[in-house]
Amino acid sequence: MNRFENKTSLVTGGGSGIGKSICARLANEGAHVFVFDINLESAESTVRVIQEAGGNATAFVCDVADHDGVEEIVSGILATADIDVLVNNAGIAHVGNLEETSEADFDRLLSVNVKGVYNMLAAVVPAMKNRRSGAILNMASVASSVGIADRFAYSTTKGAVLTMTYSVAKDYVDYGIRCNCVAPGRVHTPFVDKYLEDNYPDNRDEMFDKLSKTQPIGRMGTPDEIAALVAYLCSDEAAFVTGSNFPIDGGFVTLNN
Q: Which residues are catalytic?
A: 154
Give the span between the Cα atoms of 69 and 194, in whole angstroms: 29
Give the span between the Cα atoms of 38 and 185, in whole angstroms: 24
Using CA of residue 33, residue 231, residue 126, residue 140, what is the dihedral sign?
Answer: negative
CA separation, residue 250 to residues 32, 142, 197, 222 (Å): 31, 11, 24, 11
- Please report, as a single letter, which amino acid is at residue 90: A
- Please report, as a single letter, which amino acid is at residue 30: G
What are φ and ψ of residue 232, in 5° steps?
A: -60, -50
Q: With contact defined as beta carbons under 8 Å apart, do 101 and 153 qualify?
A: yes
Give the span between the Cα atoms of 180 and 186, in whole angstroms: 20
Give the span between the Cα atoms of 253 and 249, in whole angstroms: 7
Q: Residue 6, Cα to own-chain centre: how many angstroms?
A: 22
User: Any idea how long the chain is?
Assistant: 257
Nearest residue to 145 (alpha-carbon basis) of 130, 156, 132, 135: 156
